[in-house]
Amino acid sequence: MLYSEIKNDIENIKNVKVKSYLPILLKKSVIHGINNDSLEIDGLLVSSIIQKDSLYCVDYTNLHVSKFYLVTMLYTDIIFDTDDSVFETYDFFMENDLFDYVLSQIKDMNFLNDLIDKELSQYLDLHNSLEYTITKVLGDNLSKFVDKIPDAKGMEKLLKLLPNAMNKVSPEMRDIIKDIMKK
């Protein structure tokens, strides 16, 4: 069924075929997206999680609209054939209670909503955790540090300069450095 046909006559929504169940791997794809050689679709996690001041949070408007679009695409035989934006399509469906009609035909929508909520919660808990932040900072900066470590010739030059540099250091600081080197 073409979206334009529904747009021209809302009663055509009754001719839309709605799947009552979606296989679990497709549900997972709705949440995480599809990224393979032939197809790339952002899942709900990508389209609805944003970063603000180093913290991850949910853009609930994007989540709601993305869920509408993905559910409509995957559970129905509607083919979106107009130049309408996702938001215009969403508004049309909502204004005319068409999405409610689609949802009423889907048996496992509560399960899908629970999966989405749990995956979002897990993603936010993980990505906003102290451990993740530290790992990310270390990972981002460790390669920069490793790039600055001198090669064998540079290390030889550094070791030759070290005695002269140590002579310029205060005696207290020299003792601290020696203690560190012993450990």
pLDDT tens digit sequence for 77-100: 999 988 999 999 999 999 999 999
Q: pLDDT value at position 39?
A: 67
Residues 6+ apart with CB under 8 A from 107: 20, 21
CA atoms of 155 and 5, how far apart (whole Å): 73
- Whether the CB-CB separation of 93 and 3 falls below 8 Å is answered with no
For 11-33, what is each residue's pLDDT tens digit? 999 999 999 999 998 888 888 87
Q: pLDDT value at position 151?
A: 77
- Degrees, nearest 5: CA angle 8-9-10: 120
Count other Cβ atoms within 10 Å, centred on residue 98. 20
CA atoms of 67 and 4, how far apart (whole Å): 21
Q: pLDDT value at position 21?
A: 92
Concatenated DSSP letters for 112-130?
A: HHHHHHHHHHHHHHHHTSH
Q: pLDDT value at position 168?
A: 78
Residues of the chain with confidence (pLDDT) below 70: 39, 140-141, 183
